[in-house]
Chain A
Amino acid sequence: MFKITSLIILATFLGLSSCSKDPINDLSTEESLVYITNRDTQADYKKYKTFSVVDSVTIIENNRSGSALTELDKDVLTRIISNMKDLGYVQVTPSQKPDIGINVAWITNSQVNVTTMPSYWGGFGYGYGFGYPSYYQYYETSESYWHVSMVDFLAPNTVDKTYKVVWDAQIRGSGIGSRDFVSTMIDSIYAQSGYLKK
């Protein structure tokens, strides 16, 4: 009798336990988006006047990389350009030696630290990579996310052969692959980085 009762109690408990629900299944796509920005505390953004943006998006997936320019990618690049202009920066071509360069990457299942410099910036010093201040923080997950980085071309580190990343942004969450959210996503990362304004 005691054993049977114990089993009934256990079964009841397990039955009730199974009622638990996913706490974020009621989040809207917009609500699921997370914007993370980091800045270089040493950077003086006032000294940067001109910028240039890569002509395509770097795709990094499990340490393999390539580039792409889909309609979504074009929307992202265009929105970045308009935000930079709104902040007071002047867009120039790479041949006009911009003060800062902006890279855009779509990263899947990989860490940012393995990112290599897109060949697009080859003219600025062959073999240069990214130089991240050590206090930049990253979340390690296996999802895809957008990564936007701003590198300083005015003061390359000739010893380490790196261009310092003076600002970067990650955009995560569901909906990052949808053109409907491009404006919201890109505007948000700039809106929370008021120090970039000229």
Chain B
Amino acid sequence: MKKIIFAALLVILAYTAQAQDAPRLYTLPSPFERYTHYLATVRMSGAAPVGSFSNTYIDKSSVRNFSISLEWVLRNSPISIGGELGSSYFQKRLPRALYQSGEETLSAVQTRTFTQNPLQVFVNYHFLNKSSVVQPYAQLSGGISIADYSLYYGSLVEQKQKVAPAYGIGLGSKFLFRKDGSFGADVRVKYEGTSFKYGYIEKGTSSVNGSVGLFYRWW
């Protein structure tokens, strides 16, 4: 329901922006090229665990991920810098099994979960200029991830929460709905990792995320 309301809100905002757009009287470059401007993006993404995180803990893909980012698109430069706050959630259920620990035997249905809220700063390098309808970019990011490892044995939980360093590298593209417009779509594929280690996670977490987002830019 929330998603529908949010989508409707975006559509209304888009129409409002269009209605206010006066006929172009001058042939000056777009303000988005002339000024350093802001750009906010909301993304929904699907994520697939990879590497040892997938081999030892959860190998099931997740679609319950989203993020918001705010960036400063610099004037006369292909670079933009910003911050992104995300949330991702992985879960896997294992049928009842016996787990041996020393002389202890435990029989339970395991529910493995891993939640993280990465807070990262990023740098985007844009391959085409800011008035282009299609704007491919490469991204590097680094920061922290507030991670929660909750391993359920039946209804008992073994939980570990900590803040771990996080990093990412991605390729994506922005697509403006209208030339020089404020709204657009964003598609990105990104590798994300953290150095979180606990329990079954021995070598940190890593995943490949594919996201689709909407952005709004202003100056």
A interface, CB within 8 angstroms of B: 1-2, 5-6, 9, 12-13, 15-17, 19-20, 23-24, 27, 31-41, 133, 135-137, 139, 141, 172-174, 188, 192-193
- Tell whether, in the assembled complex, residue B2 and residue A16 are in contact, meaning their CB atoms are under 8 Å apart: yes
The 8 A CB mask of B61-102 against A (1 = contact, 0 = none) is 000101010100000000000000101010100001010011
Q: What is the CB-to-nearest-CB distance from A140 to chain B, in angstroms, rounded to a whole number?
A: 11
Identify the 4 closest CB pairs spanning chains A and B, nearest first. Answer: A34-B154, A35-B107, A34-B108, A31-B109
The answer to whether A13 and B154 touch (CB under 8 A), given A6-B70, A27-B111, A192-B105, is no
The answer to whether A31 and B96 touch (CB under 8 A), given A12-B42, A23-B150, A192-B107, is yes
- Tell whether, in the assembled complex, residue B91 and residue A23 are in contact, meaning their CB atoms are under 8 Å apart: yes
Q: What is the CB-to-nearest-CB distance from A186 to chain B, in angstroms, rounded to a whole number?
A: 13
- Tell whether, in the assembled complex, residue B113 and residue A137 are in contact, meaning their CB atoms are under 8 Å apart: no
- Tell whether, in the assembled complex, residue A34 and residue B106 are in contact, meaning their CB atoms are under 8 Å apart: yes
Size class of the contact patch on chain B: 35 or more
Q: Contact check: which of B66, B96, B102, B216 meets A16 at CB < 8 Å?
A: B66
Q: What is the CB-to-nearest-CB distance from A25 to chain B, in angstroms, rounded to a whole number?
A: 10
Find chain B residues with CB under 8 A from A13 CB. Answer: 66, 68, 85, 87
A136 to B70, CA, bound (A): 52
Find chain B residues with CB under 8 A from A27 CB. Answer: 109, 111, 154-155
Find chain B residues with CB under 8 A from A41 CB. Answer: 103
B interface, CB within 8 angstroms of A: 2, 6, 38, 40, 42, 64, 66, 68, 70, 85, 87, 89, 91, 96, 98, 101-109, 111, 113, 115, 150, 152-156, 216, 218
| Nearest opposing residue in chain A for B99, CB measure | A36
Q: Contact check: which of A5, A38, A40, A141 meets B156 at CB < 8 Å?
A: A141
Find chain A residues with CB under 8 A from B91 CB. Answer: 23
Find chain B residues with CB under 8 A from A6 CB. Answer: 70
The answer to whether A9 and B87 touch (CB under 8 A), given A23-B111, A33-B154, is no
A25 to B66, CA, bound (A): 23
Q: Contact check: which of A12, A19, A35 meets B68 at CB < 8 Å?
A: A12
- Tell whether, in the assembled complex, residue B104 and residue A9 are in contact, meaning their CB atoms are under 8 Å apart: no
What would be 16 A-B contacts, judged by CB atoms less than 8 Å apart? A6-B70, A12-B42, A16-B87, A23-B113, A27-B155, A31-B96, A31-B109, A34-B108, A35-B107, A36-B106, A37-B104, A40-B103, A136-B103, A173-B155, A173-B156, A193-B105
- Tell whether, in the assembled complex, residue A5 and residue B154 are in contact, meaning their CB atoms are under 8 Å apart: no
Identify 13 new A-B residue pairs, CB closer than 8 A, beyond the known A16-B2, A38-B105, A133-B103. A5-B38, A5-B216, A20-B115, A23-B152, A27-B155, A34-B153, A34-B154, A37-B105, A141-B156, A172-B156, A173-B155, A192-B105, A192-B107
Q: Contact check: which of A2, A15, A135, A172 meets B155 at CB < 8 Å?
A: A172
Q: What is the CB-to-nearest-CB distance from A122 to chain B, in angstroms, rounded to a whole number?
A: 30
Q: What is the CB-to-nearest-CB distance from B215 to chain A, in angstroms, rounded to a whole number?
A: 11
A52 to B5, CA, bound (A): 66
Find chain A residues with CB under 8 A from B89 CB. Answer: 20
The answer to whether A38 and B103 touch (CB under 8 A), given A5-B40, A17-B87, is yes
Find chain A residues with CB under 8 A from B38 CB. Answer: 2, 5
